[in-house]
């Protein structure tokens, strides 16, 4: 998934480590602008695994230093599991997990549902 502003790529995400039997996929993303992660981007980003692929969980791995993303993920309904040393001797990895139930019930997703 790519997010383009004008003619400039400002962000992107890739799905990987898809385990269909477990119903789990991992997402990695990068950006050059905070403007890339809009409500519409979030809607499309998570619609693919939860609606199209029928996943039961999505996983993101995030540095301790990305507090802004931590805040967004918590508000979106993710749970965090902090694993010491996974990024090196002095750096933890934060594994964020979003279940299909948490995704379906979060305030961002409910606004997009047609009743």
- Look at residue 115 in the predicted model and tell me its pLDDT: 39
pTM of the model: 0.89
Mean of pLDDT over the chain? 92
Question: How confident is residue 109, by pLDDT bands cut at 50, 70 and 90?
Answer: confident
Question: How confident is residue 108, by pLDDT bands cut at 50, 70 and 90?
Answer: confident
Question: How confident is residue 114, by pLDDT bands cut at 50, 70 and 90?
Answer: very low
Whether residue 112 has pLDDT greater than 80:
no
* Strand 79-88 versus strand 57-63 pairing type: unpaired
Overall CATH class of domain 2-112: alpha beta
Question: 33 versus 95: which is more confidently predicted?
Answer: 95
Rounded distance between C-alpha atoms, residue 7 and residue 77, angstroms: 32
Structure tokens at 105: 């019930």
Whether residue 77 has pLDDT greater than 90:
yes
Structure tokens at 71: 């805040």
Helix (H, G, I), strand (E, B) or coil at 100: helix
């Amino acid at each position: 998934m790519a997010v383009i502003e004008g003619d400039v790529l400002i962000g992107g995400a890739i799905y990987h480590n898809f385990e269909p039997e477990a119903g789990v996929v991992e997402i990695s993303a990068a950006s050059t602008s905070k403007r890339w992660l809009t409500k519409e981007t979030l809607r499309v980003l998570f619609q693919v695994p939860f609606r199209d692929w029928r996943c039961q969980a999505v996983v993101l791995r995030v540095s301790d230093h990305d507090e802004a993303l931590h805040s967004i993920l918590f508000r979106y309904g993710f749970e965090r599991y902090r694993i010491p040393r996974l990024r090196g001797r002095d750096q933890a990895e934060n594994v964020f997990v979003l279940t299909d139930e948490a995704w379906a019930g979060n305030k961002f997703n409910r606004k997009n549902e047609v009743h």
